[in-house]
Amino acid sequence: MSSSKEPRVDAAPVRRFRVPSYRPQAATLGALREKIDALDAQIVALLGERALCVRDATRFKRDAFEVAAPERQAAVFARVRSLAADRAADFPTLPDVVEAAYRVLVAGFIAGEERFFSETEPIPT
């Protein structure tokens, strides 16, 4: 039976996992959403810190190719995929999700770094 409305946030679960070792993260959907919102705030704060590092990295680049840094991109994607694989026991598609997210993030950060690159000048030697 399908429902056309959002689930209640204050109700008990209506489904359970068959795996006996599963451990719930919260008693209600509302509590889970609060936890997710708090995690999102932490993730955004960390992305803000990462953005500042990306901006500062611009100072070390000579040209647009170095800004794009394709070898570095590939290394980042492999590293975060590996980190996610270490945590994938309870969510097997986590490596795919993390890699896809990082591909979008890195593309956005590179676009920003390209803009910042145009705002820099070479240091005379």
pLDDT tens across 1-48, in order? 667 899 999 999 999 999 999 999 999 999 999 999 999 999 999 999
Domain contains 124: no
Domain contains 9: no
What is the rounded average pLDDT for all residues in the chain?
96
Domain contains 16: no
Domain contains 78: yes
Domain contains 36: no
How many structural domains compose the chain?
A: 1
Domain contains 85: yes
Q: Please give the full DSSP string across 51-92, using - where no structure is assigned.
A: HHHHHHHGGG--SHHHHH-HHHHHHHHHHHHHHHHTT-SS-T
Query: Cα–Cα distance between 77 and 83 in angstroms, integer?
Result: 10
Domain extent, residue 81, equals 47-117
pTM above 0.85, yes or no: yes
